[in-house]
C-alpha cells in the first residue's frame, strides 16, 4: 500500500468513527419509540425515519471531511463519482430495530479503487464498536482482535445468518447440513454480531446468503485484519454485487468452501 493511502486511512478512521457516533445519536432518539415512520420500500424491506436521518448525519460528516469522495448509502443511493467510495448502511438490521431487538448496527466502509480498506461497525445500543484499516489491525472497543485458527472442522463453532436463497438450492442446502452436522456447535447470531464474535475468536465460521455489500463491507475489513478470510460462498472476492458470505480462518474456510462446492474436503 502506498504511503498516501496509508496516511488517508489514518486520517479517515476517526472521521468514520465520528460519523457512526453521529448516526448513533439519531438511532438512540428513535429506538423503542412508538412512531418511527415505518414504511416498506419497493424491494419489500423496511425503512424508518431513523434510517433516513441517521444516514443524513453520516453523509454530513463524511462530506465535510471529504467533499470529493463518493458515497453509496442504503437509503440515499450513490452520490458523487470518485475512486474513493464510502459504503454506508445507517441501520443494518432495521427489522430488529423496529421490533425493539438491539442487534442492529451502523456500517461504514471505505472502498478505494475497488478494494475495501477501512471499516467501522457501530452497535451503540449493544455497546460495541469494531474498526479496522488495511494493515492497521482490527479492534473491538479498543482491544486488538486476533482470531485463533481452528485446525479441525470438528472443533468449529459455526454461525449462520440469512439463508433464504441458500435454502432454495437443494444441493447447497444439503451441503450446509453436512457442515452443521460435523461442526462442534452451531448458532445463528446474525447481523453484525456474529462477525464481531468471529473477529474475536468466539465463533470460527460465518455463512450467509441474502446480504448486500453495504451490510458486510466494514465487517469484512474487520475480520480480515483479525486474521480471517472473507469471501462470498463461491470463494470470490467481494464487490458491489456480492450477495453471500463465507468468513472464517484459513482451514475452516477451505473446508467449508470445498464442502459447499461438493468437492472432497481438504484435510
Give, for 139, the enclosing helix (H) or strand (E): strand 137-140
> pLDDT value at position 44?
82
Burial class (CB in 10 A: 0-12, 13-18, 19+), 239: exposed
Q: Say yes or no to pLDDT of 150 above 70.
A: yes
Nearest CA to 211 among 257, 242, 169, 247?
242
> Is residue 147, in this structure, part of any structural domain at all?
no
Under a CB-based contact definition with an 8 Å cutoff, are residues 226 and 146 in contact?
yes
Q: What is the mean pLDDT of the chain?
A: 94
Beta-sheet strands, E only, within 190-258: 205-209, 229-231, 244-248
Under a CB-based contact definition with an 8 Å cutoff, are residues 230 and 211 in contact?
no
Domain that holds residue 236: 153-260
- Give the Cα-Cα-Cα angle 111, 115, 120 (nearest 5 degrees): 45
> pLDDT value at position 266?
39
The CATH number assigned to the domain holding 212 equals 3.40.190.80
The count of other CB atoms within 10 Å of the CB of residue 21 is 17
Q: Say yes or no to pLDDT of 248 above 70.
A: yes
The answer to whether residues 129 and 7 belong to one domain is yes
The answer to whether residues 91 and 173 belong to one domain is no
> pLDDT value at position 169?
94
The CATH number assigned to the domain holding 11 equals 3.30.540.10
The answer to whether residues 121 and 157 belong to one domain is no
The pLDDT tens digits of the residues spanning 99-144 come to 999 999 999 999 999 999 999 999 999 999 999 999 999 999 999 9
The answer to whether residues 178 and 59 belong to one domain is no
The pLDDT tens digits of the residues spanning 207-227 come to 999 999 999 999 999 999 999
> Is residue 181, in this structure, part of any structural domain at all?
yes
> pLDDT value at position 220?
98
The answer to whether residues 82 and 202 belong to one domain is no
Residues 6+ apart with CB under 8 A from 16: 62, 86, 108, 110, 118, 120, 131
> Is residue 148, in this structure, part of any structural domain at all?
no
Model confidence, pTM: 0.95
Number of structural domains found in the chain: 2
The answer to whether residues 85 and 194 belong to one domain is no
Nine cell digits for residue 262: 461438493
The pLDDT tens digits of the residues spanning 20-58 come to 999 999 999 999 987 888 889 888 888 999 999 999 999
The answer to whether residues 127 and 165 belong to one domain is no
> pLDDT value at position 262?
67
Amino acid at each position: 500500500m502506498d504511503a498516501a493511502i496509508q496516511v488517508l486511512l489514518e486520517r479517515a478512521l476517526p472521521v468514520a468513527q465520528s460519523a457512526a457516533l453521529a448516526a448513533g445519536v439519531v438511532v438512540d432518539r428513535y429506538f423503542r419509540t412508538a412512531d418511527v415512520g415505518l414504511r416498506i420500500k419497493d424491494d419489500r424491506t423496511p425503512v424508518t425515519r431513523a434510517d433516513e436521518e441517521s444516514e443524513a448525519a453520516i453523509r454530513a460528516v463524511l462530506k465535510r471531511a471529504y467533499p470529493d469522495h463518493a458515497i453509496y448509502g442504503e437509503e440515499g443511493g450513490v452520490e458523487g463519482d470518485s475512486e474513493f467510495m464510502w459504503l454506508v448502511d445507517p441501520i443494518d438490521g432495521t427489522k430488529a430495530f423496529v421490533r425493539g431487538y438491539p442487534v442492529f448496527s451502523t456500517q461504514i466502509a471505505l472502498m478505494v479503487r475497488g478494494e475495501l480498506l477501512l471499516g467501522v461497525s457501530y452497535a451503540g445500543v449493544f455497546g460495541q464498536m469494531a474498526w479496522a484499516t488495511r494493515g492497521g489491525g482490527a479492534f473491538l472497543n479498543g482491544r486488538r482482535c486476533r482470531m485463533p485458527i481452528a485446525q479441525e472442522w470438528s472443533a468449529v463453532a459455526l454461525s449462520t445468518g440469512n439463508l433464504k436463497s441458500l435454502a432454495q438450492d437443494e444441493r447447497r442446502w444439503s451441503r450446509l447440513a453436512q457442515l452443521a452436522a460435523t461442526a462442534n456447535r452451531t448458532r445463528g447470531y446474525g447481523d453484525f454480531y456474529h462477525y464481531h464474535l468471529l473477529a474475536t475468536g468466539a465463533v470460527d465460521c460465518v455463512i450467509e446468503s441474502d446480504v448486500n455489500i453495504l451490510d458486510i463491507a466494514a465487517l469484512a475489513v474487520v475480520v480480515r485484519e483479525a486474521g480471517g478470510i472473507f469471501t462470498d460462498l463461491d470463494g470470490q472476492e467481494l464487490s458491489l454485487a456480492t450477495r453471500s458470505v463465507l468468513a472464517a480462518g484459513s482451514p475452516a474456510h477451505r473446508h467449508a468452501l470445498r464442502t459447499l462446492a461438493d468437492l472432497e474436503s481438504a484435510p
